Structure 1
Amino acid sequence: MAFYQRSTLSTNLVATLMILGLIRFSFVECRRKLLFESYAAYPAINCRKHTAFLTEFGGNGDGITSNTAVFQAAVQNLSQVADDGGAQLVVPPGKWLTGSFNLTSHFTLFIQSGAVIIASEDAEEYPVVEPLPSYGQGRDGPGGRFSSLIGGSHLTDVVVTGDNGTIDGQGSIWWKKFNRKKLKSTRPYLIELMYSNQVQISNLTLIDSPSWFVHPVYSSDIIIQDLTIRAPVDSPNTDGIIPDSCNNVKIQDVRVVSGNDCVAVKSGWDEYGVRFGVPTEQVIIRRLTCNSPNGSVIALGSEMSGGIKNIRAEDITAINSQSGVRIKTSPGRGAYITDIFVDGMNLQTMDYVFWTTGSYGEHPDLGFDSRALPVVDRINYRNVVAEDVKMAGNMGGIDNDPFTGICLSNVTIGIGTQQENLVWNCTYVSGVSSNVIPEPCDVLTEKGPSDCEYPPDAIGIDMVELKTCSFSSV
């Protein structure tokens, strides 16, 4: 039998400051020791030399005691071995209540099976930060943003994973405040990593985020896979995964039930996004399953003012959702949505299969330039099967700025009993089609190629091979 090693933390003096209610940890040095107990292995972009358990920093998994200071202290201590092989912080089985905390570079947060990180309902546990520069204000209103539950900025090589551990955002209290217009700042997101590269988020169950679930922004080289994301279908703005001004992203084997778009590709809002000028590009979405009656399976926009380019989607499944792929933009957004490739959608009980909107609205302020018109071009869909659909396509562009280069091939849509008056509606769009049932609008006439384009080459992130990492637990 093979022997496995894990790092343990030598015991340092832990001073409890009762008056201030703070726990201060001196740096904990890591050493390795042979163990014979249970062994866990998992795939990750990089493995770590050092291992620590949250309990070694005084964590209490009773679901009542706040662990915010414990998480913060654990990350701070382990950041000191970033240049010595990095560290993994293991969250063991239990209910770990916490407010906002940030991660560090060359670091893995591993949430074990039976472990639940529970978001505090106390707004004081989420410091308010400045709006994103590409948005100009908070997405929920003109104020700032409550910090995300799990965050980080300017990081390299960071992993949030587990063996199907859970992160519970306890979003209902935030949804009520939002619906009652009681918030001056944007609700927390569940996981948000900014200005970072080499990011992995995987093998977890995420439930009831206060707003967006997984939001990488201004980041690159991102793998998001093997996630289950759940929120009530009437919860406001609980989008599942939102790559925002990001490059080289893989979203794979993800199941989403939410109150809005399952995957929403974004890149900044009106003049702020134009000025910031960072697009989202080189994204592959594969084996996504979606259930969202108030949202799209995949949305492009509406905040797309830095540009969206080269987005691929394969093997997409949805039931009881608003639309398959939706393009959302309007005058004032500027930039472009182009080189979009979809191959293989299986849809059941939908309002629309294809939906493009050139009049989405929702501007951050009155400073937008209505002459900043978006370019929407080269949009390719092929091998689509849908049943129980109200309307095959609701395709609207912008007057004097039509959406062009739309291609549909090998599409079969079954219209349900609750169909709309029109099966297709096409305004300010143009393109071609081949083998589409029911027959589309005249502007998408039957004169296209037998197969719409889909790139044969892989994007960079698809070439990354994960390593097998491990730790032992008592």
Structure 2
Amino acid sequence: MRKSHQLLNALLLGLAPLAVSAQMYSWTNLPKITQPTFRKDTISILAYGAKPDGVTLNTKAINAAIATCNQNGGGVVLVPAGIWITGPVELKSNVNLHLKKAATLLFTTDKSQYALVEGTYEGKKAARNQSPISGINLENVAITGQGIIDGNGDIWRAVHKSQLTEGAWKEKVASGGVLKDDGKTWYPSEQFKRASTENKSMLLANGKKPEDFADMKDFLRPNLLVLTSCKKVLLEGVTFQNSPAWCLHPLMCQDLTIRNVTTKNPEYAHNGDGMDIESCKNFLIEGCTLDVGDDAICIKSGKDEEGRKRGMPTENGVIRNNTVYNGHGGFVVGSEMSGGARNIFVYNCTFMGTDKGLRFKSVRGRGGVVEHIYAKDIFMKDIAQEAIFFDMYYFVKFATDGERDMKPVVNEGTPVFRNMQFENIVCNGAKKGVFVRGLPEMPIQNIRMANLTLKTDKGVELIDAQGIEIRKAQFITHDTKPVILVDNSSKLTFDAIQYNPQASLLFSINGERSQGIQVTNTDVTKAQNKAEFGKGALEKNLMLSSAK
């Protein structure tokens, strides 16, 4: 047997030694996150000459207060009420940066204050401008309070004319910057325009150093907050907004708590993610409110070969009691998930107006195993696209039937999504209820869904999926032909399914690989047609056991 076939069979049976979890968790045994502790000693940035006048550049004063607090054994650095203009702030161990209510840290528009540094871009080493707030190899570190941290992101971001009202577009053009040759995109500068239109790379490859990118500095937008390889981190109560790129980016951190935080980015903010939890272990995200321009709560672990070599999954996480308004996805895994993700529990969350609800995405070449993801008590309203979404063709053309039948080989770049459970999911308004699209060589595997009430245009689409169970589900669909579409998927269970009376077609079964489809405790006689078969699918593979 060829090695690729052996690996494929092992993965399908769950035997492959990829992303094996050291400890299994359950709803009664959730991951535990260690909280940081701090001395009560308090230093005010006023003592170092900081001025809250919205004019004075306070970078030196704020960083001096943080450094002194750290040198004295730690404690609290206090930011009183006011508007504090500042350049990059560097956090230190054992320091809690506390923003009083009505305090705003507003990051300067002077881009010369932000040094070119080695960072990451979507999971790969890249040249970036220094983040407004950063920390590396810290322990016991926090940002707390009721203040606002504003990244002044509009000076960094490009924007398309179609994303703004006519009045806002005219105001943007009048503010300066340059337009794309077609007049449909605004850039902050000619340097930004040139880097964008020439598709220049920011990756640190072939021995390049950050200073080698000086001619495209303006294009290298920073993330608002980046904490790298830190332990016992707390972000609590503060509003993080208007980031040049991602808002919050904990990278390779351990024991991370994000509690009662608000993240805000404009809807038009390119890469305007709320929280990107990358290669972190033991984390809690609770009570947060997100209204952003890209994915809201996103799980990542590096990209392609570089992410696989890092080999650090994002694992052991609890995400609860959060509300997401605008965003490309409410809870998201991928697409940079090459190090894997596992043991993540999501519950009591509300998504209102996001593009997608529960969103899982990857593509050939990523590799990595995503497994043991659990979600329950998820409530969605006015979802623009899919409520529950899996897609292994992220940002690529979907293969034709002929290409899919070729079954490319399974190798280290083949992503695996498997072994997940979703229950008590409610969606009032979406284009599709459930969409699952795996790869022919690696189906999406063993996803169990129960107690679903989905009011959507379309019901269910399963493509290259295996071992999907949907039990006790009500599909209130506008389009009833079909309610459930199956394409080259196997070992499927549909139990106690409710759907619109007089639906024109309940099942559309397609493809030679569509086998072992069992329907139980479901009245199939309410549909005008219970099933149609195409593209080589056989009627015998739809089993109506205990169904009317």
User: Whole-Å Cα distance in 1 between the matches of residues 119 and 250 of structure 2?
Assistant: 15
The one-letter amino acid paired with 1:227 is: V
Pair 1:231-2:265 in alignment: yes
Structure number with greater CO (CA < 8 Å, separation at least 6) is: 1
1:390 equivalenced with 2:431 (yes/no): yes
Q: State the Cα distance separating 1:296 from its structure 2 match.
A: 0.2
CA deviations over 1:159-183 (Å, ceiling 9, x no partner)? 1001x11111111111124884555
Contact 1:134–1:272 under 8 Å retained in 2: no
How far 1:186 sits from its partner (Å)? 3.4
Q: Is the 8 A contact 1:133 1:272 kept in 2?
A: no
Cα distance between partner residues in 1 of 2:36 and 2:86: 27
Deviation at 1:361, TM superposition (A): 4.7
Quick one: structure 1 residues 385 and 133, their matched pair in 2 at CA, closer, same or farther if it must change by over 3 Å? Answer: closer
2:135 is equivalent to residue 152 of structure 1: yes
Return the offset for 1:107.
0.7
Taking the TM superposition and a 5 Å limit, the aligned residue runs for 1:101-112 are 101-112=89-100
**Which residues of 2 match residues 43-442 of structure 1 at below 5 A?**
45-82=36-73, 86-132=74-120, 135-138=123-126, 144-162=127-145, 164-176=146-158, 177=187, 180=193, 181=195, 186-293=220-327, 295-350=328-383, 351-361=385-395, 372-415=413-456, 419=457, 422-430=458-466, 431-438=468-475, 440-442=484-486
1:428-467 matched pairs, under 5 angstroms: 428-430=464-466, 431-438=468-475, 440-442=484-486, 443=489, 444-447=492-495
Helix, strand or coil for the counterpart of 1:131? strand
Calculate the aligned-residue CA RMSD, in Å.
2.1
DSSP-derived class of the 2:308 partner: helix
Q: CA deviation at 1:253?
A: 0.3
CA distance in 1, matches of 2:226, 2:496: 42
The answer as to whether partners of 2:472 and 2:495 remain within 8 angstroms in 1 is no
Q: What secondary structure does 2:50 align onto?
A: coil
**CA deviation vs aligned residue, 1:290-321 (integer Å, no higher than 9, x gap):** 1125x000110111011111111001101111
Alpha-carbon separation, structure 2, partners of 1:391 and 1:299:
17
Mapped to 1, the partners of 2:432 and 2:348 lie a distance apart of 22
How many correspondences in the alignment?
385
3-state secondary structure, aligned to 2:249: strand
State the 1:210 CA deviation.
0.9
Q: Work out the CA distance in 2 between the residues paired with 1:358 and 1:78.
A: 48
More strand as a share of residues: 1
Q: 1:50 Cα shift?
A: 2.0
Distance across 2 between alignment mates of 1:93 and 1:349: 38
SS at match of 2:276: coil
- Describe the superposition over 1:212-244 as per-residue Cα deviations: whole angstroms up to 9, x where unpaired: 111111110011010111121121111111110
2:220 and 2:392 map into 1 onto residues whose CA distance is 26
| 1:150 CA drift (Å) | 1.0
For 1:211 and 1:89, locate their aligned partners in 2 and report how far apart those are by CA, in whole Å.
Answer: 26
- Equivalent residues of 1:229, 1:240 under 8 A apart: yes
| CA distance in 1: counterparts of 2:299 and 2:460, whole angstroms | 25
Secondary structure of 1:346's match?
strand
Residues of 2 paired with 1:134 and 1:234: CA distance?
19
Structure 1 or 2: more helix by fraction: 2
**Range 110-119 or range 62-71, more displaced:** 62-71
TM-score (norm 1): 0.77
Conserved 8 A contact 1:381-1:407: yes
Q: Report what 1:39 is aligned to.
A: none
Shift of 1:47: 2.9
What amino acid maps onto 2:230 in structure 1?
S
- 1:137 positional shift: 3.4
Read off the aligned partner of 1:305 and give its amino acid letter: S
C-alpha distance in 1 between matches for 2:133 and 2:369: 31
Pairwise CA distance, 1:145: 1.3
1:314-335 residue CA offsets vs partner (Å, 9 max, x unmatched) = 0110111111111111111111
Cα gap change, 1:376 to 1:384, in 2 (>3 Å): same
User: Where do 5+ consecutive residues of structure 1 fail to align?
Assistant: 1-43, 139-143, 363-368, 450-474
* Larger Rg computed on CA atoms: 2
> Aligned letter for 2:85?
L
Q: Which residue in the other structure is 1:14 paired with?
A: none
| Superposed displacement of residue 135, structure 1 | 3.0
Identity of aligned pairs, percent? 29
Cα pair 1:134 1:276 within 8 Å, conserved: no
Q: CA deviation at 1:68?
A: 1.1
**1:20 equivalent in structure 2:** none
For structure 2, list consecutive stretches of 5 or more residues without a partner in the other structure: 1-34, 159-186, 197-215, 397-409, 476-482, 498-548
Q: CA deviation at 1:371?
A: 5.7
- SS of structure 1 residue aligned to 2:360: strand
AA of the residue aligned to 2:39: R
TM-score, normalised by the number of residues in structure 2: 0.67
Partner amino acid for 1:111? Answer: L
Secondary structure of 2:109 counterpart: coil
Secondary structure (helix, strand or coil) at the match of 2:237 reads: strand
Structure 2 residue matching 1:281: 3-state secondary structure: strand
Q: Which amino acid is the alignment partner of residue 436 of structure 1?
A: A
Residue 448 and residue 222 in structure 1: after superposition, are their counterparts in 2 closer, same or farther (change >3 A)? farther
